[in-house]
Amino acid sequence: MYSFYIRDQWQATRNLTVNFGTRYEYFPLPTRSDRGMERYNFDTNQMLVCGIGDVPKDCGTKVGKLYFSPRLGIAWRANEKTVVRSGFGINWDPWNLARPLRTNYPILAAQNIAAPTSLGWATTLSQGLPPVPVPDLGNGVIPLPATYAVTTTDDNYTRGYILNWNFTVERQLPGKFAGQVGYVANRSVHTSGVLDLNAGQIPGADRAGQPLFAKFGRTAATSLVDSVTFSTYHSLQAQLNRRFSGGFQLGTAYTWSKVIGLCCEEENNGGPRIKALNYLGLNRSLLNSDRTHNLQFNALVELPFGRGKRWDSKNAVVSGIVSGWQLNTLTSIMSGTPFSVTAGNASLRMPNNDQRADQVKGEVKKLGGIGVGSPYFDYTAFARVTDARFGTAGFNSLRGPGAFNSDLSLFRRFALTEKVNLEFRAEAFNWTNTPKFNNPSSNIDNLQVNAADGSFRTGVFEVTGTNAYGRDVAERIIRLGLRIAF
C-alpha cells in the first residue's frame, strides 16, 4: 500500500486560516510470497491460482489507481473569545484485501456439507465425511468442489470511500473554562464487504433457490468482496473544559448521535444478515455501535492542604502528612447498544440467510428485568415465523441496558532526593460497584412451555452481567501501588 500527502496553509486574513491538501493512495492487489492470490470464476466454477501457469499474477483483477482524497479546513476567529472551525475531507477505505482473500482454496479447504433441506441431514455416520482432495495446481486453473467455500473478487474491484465533514464553534468562558459545540458527520459510500452470491434467493426453495447450485451443484458459500455496504453518521458533539489552574482541571465531552447502515457487520470481513439480493433493503438499520448518548467526565484536583496551599498547617508534622495529595476521576455514562430479536430459519428455507422474529405488538414495553426468568422486554410482543418469509421485526429495533462507570484514584508524590521521587497510588476501578450488563438474549425460539401450568418461560430478554468470555467484569477493583521515578 502506497500513499503520499501534499498540504498547504494560507493565512487569508488576520482572523482567517485555510488548510488545504490532497492525499494520493494506491492499493495494489495483495500477493503471496511466491505468487499471487486466488480468484473464483463465476462462469466456469473454477479457481484461478494467480501467478501459476498462464494465469497472470493479479488474475486479471483491475484495481483503481486514481485514488485522490482532497481535504479542506477553515478556522475563523470571530473575536478574541470565539473561533469557528469547519472541515471537509474524503478518505478512501484502506481495507487490505489480504484479509478476506488470505485463506482461500486451495490454501484452505473450507468444506461445508449442507443438508438438502433445512429439516434434513447432510450425511450419516455410516457414510462418514467425504475425503478432502489434494489439489494439483497444474496450469493454475483448477476445479472447485461443490462443498468448498470461497471468498473472491471479480475482474473489477471497486474501493469505497468515506466523506467527513464538521462545523464547530469554540468559546472562551469565565473562570478559565472553554466550551465547544459542533456538528460532526460522515458517510461511508460503497464500503467494501462480503456478500454470499450463493445464498438462497427464494423463500421456501431450499437448495433450488441457490443460484450456483442450479448452475454447478454448488452448496457452499461463494462470497464476493466488493462495495456492498454503506453507513451514515450524524452527531452533536459538545465539550466543556477547564485548563489546569489553581490545582483544578476539568474535562467533559458529550455526544448525541445516530449511525445507520447495512446490518450488522462493521468490520468489512462479513456481510449483511439477509443476503438475498432482492431483500438487501431489509438490512438497513441502526448499527451495533450506535449509542444515542455518550457522556465522558474527567477531573484532577490537588487537595488544598499543606505547604503553599490554601490551608497550610504551621505544624511541620501535620503539613508533611497532608501535603501533595492529588485526586483524579474518570466517569462514563452511555446509552445501551441496539440488538435484534431473531428466530430460527427452518420455515424460511433460504440457505445462509438470517431470520427475524415477527413483531405482533405495535409497542414493545421495556420491563427492565435482570437475571433468569425476568425478561428485559415484553417478549409477548414477538412471535415465531412459521411461513416461508422474513419476519416483520426490524434488525436492531431494540436497545439494551446502558452503562455507568466511574474510576477514582488518589496519588501522592514524595521527594526522596533531588532526582528520586516515590509516588503512592490508590486506585479504585468502578468504585461505585455499579454492575454493567450485556444485551439480552434475543432468539424468540428460546421460548419454552412450562409443563406445570402451560405458561411460557423464557430465556429471551434475560440480561446477564458477563462479557463474551463468560467472566463478570463489573465488580469493583481496588489497587495499591508504589512507583519510583529517577
pLDDT digits (tens, 9 = 90+) for 10-22: 999 999 999 999 9
Quickly tell me which residue has 488518589 as its cell. 410
The answer to whether position 12 is within a domain reads no
Could you say which DSSP state residue 104 is in?
-
**Are 244 and 358 part of one and the same domain?**
no
Predicted confidence at residue 435, as pLDDT, reads 87
Find, among 172, 389, 366, the residue nearest to 278 by Cα.
389
Helix (H, G, I), strand (E, B) or coil at 287: coil
Q: In what order do the strands lie in the sheet with 46-49?
A: 38-41, 46-49, 141-143
Containing structural domain, residue 339? 315-486
Provide the Cα torsion 45, 50, 52, 57; round to 10°: 150
Burial class (CB in 10 A: 0-12, 13-18, 19+), 33: exposed
CA 137/CA 131 separation, integer angstroms: 18
Find, among 158, 342, 176, the residue nearest to 243 by Cα.
176
**Are 79 and 115 part of one and the same domain?**
yes
Predicted confidence at residue 268, as pLDDT, reads 65
Predicted confidence at residue 417, as pLDDT, reads 84
**Are 266 and 404 part of one and the same domain?**
no
Predicted confidence at residue 452, as pLDDT, reads 56
Q: Do the beta carbons of residue 410 and residue 327 sit within 8 Å?
A: yes
The answer to whether position 128 is within a domain reads no
Written as one letter, the residue type at 470 is G
**Are 196 and 325 part of one and the same domain?**
no
Residues 6+ apart with CB under 8 A from 416: 422
Predicted confidence at residue 458, as pLDDT, reads 54
**Are 288 and 331 part of one and the same domain?**
no
Burial class (CB in 10 A: 0-12, 13-18, 19+), 341: buried
Residues 6+ apart with CB under 8 A from 89: 69, 70, 71, 72, 163, 164, 165
Quickly tell me which residue has 402451560 as its cell. 454
Helix residue spans in 118-265 (DSSP H):
211-216
pTM across the whole model:
0.86
CA 221 to chain centre: 24
The answer to whether position 218 is within a domain reads yes
**No. of H helices and E strands in the chain?**
3, 28
For 48, 49, 88, 156, the CA distances from 67, given in Å and listed in that order, are: 27, 27, 17, 15
Predicted confidence at residue 317, as pLDDT, reads 56
The answer to whether position 271 is within a domain reads yes
**Are 320 and 286 part of one and the same domain?**
no
**Are 389 and 425 part of one and the same domain?**
yes
**Are 246 and 344 part of one and the same domain?**
no
**Are 336 and 447 part of one and the same domain?**
yes
pLDDT tens-digit profile, the chain (486 residues):
899 999 999 999 999 999 999 999 999 999 999 999 999 999 999 999 999 999 999 999 999 888 999 999 999 999 999 999 999 999 999 888 998 898 888 988 888 887 877 677 888 889 888 888 788 888 999 999 988 999 999 989 989 999 999 999 999 999 999 999 999 999 999 988 899 999 999 999 999 999 999 899 999 999 999 888 899 999 999 999 999 888 889 999 999 999 999 887 667 667 899 999 999 999 999 999 999 999 999 999 987 766 666 666 565 555 666 677 889 999 999 999 999 999 988 899 999 999 999 999 999 999 888 877 788 899 899 999 999 999 999 999 999 999 999 999 999 888 788 888 888 999 999 999 998 888 888 888 877 655 555 555 555 666 766 544 444 456 889 999 999 988
Predicted confidence at residue 103, as pLDDT, reads 87
Set of cell numbers at residue 16: 482567517
**Are 284 and 352 part of one and the same domain?**
no
For 346-400, what is the HEC assignment?
CCCCCCCCCEECEECCCCCCECCCCCCCCCCECHHHEECCCCCCCCCCCCCCEEC
The answer to whether position 16 is within a domain reads no
Helix (H, G, I), strand (E, B) or coil at 101: helix
Written as one letter, the residue type at 124 is T
Predicted confidence at residue 315, as pLDDT, reads 58
**Are 257 and 319 part of one and the same domain?**
no
Looking at 258, 292, 326, the residue that finishes a domain is 292
CA 435/CA 405 separation, integer angstroms: 9
Terminal CA-to-CA distance of the chain, rounded, Å? 42
CA 411/CA 481 separation, integer angstroms: 10
Predicted confidence at residue 454, as pLDDT, reads 53
- How many folded domains does the chain comprise? 2
CA 403/CA 396 separation, integer angstroms: 18
Integer-rounded Cα radius of gyration of the chain: 29
H-helix or E-strand spanning residue 319: helix 316-322
The answer to whether position 358 is within a domain reads yes
Looking at 257, 292, 327, the residue that finishes a domain is 292
414-447 residues labelled b (16+ CB within 10 A) or e (exposed): eeeeeeeeeeebebbebbeeeebbbbbbbbbbbb
**Are 217 and 366 part of one and the same domain?**
no
Set of cell numbers at residue 289: 455501535
Set of cell numbers at residue 200: 438462497
Predicted confidence at residue 467, as pLDDT, reads 47
The answer to whether position 306 is within a domain reads no
Looking at 230, 261, 292, the residue that finishes a domain is 292
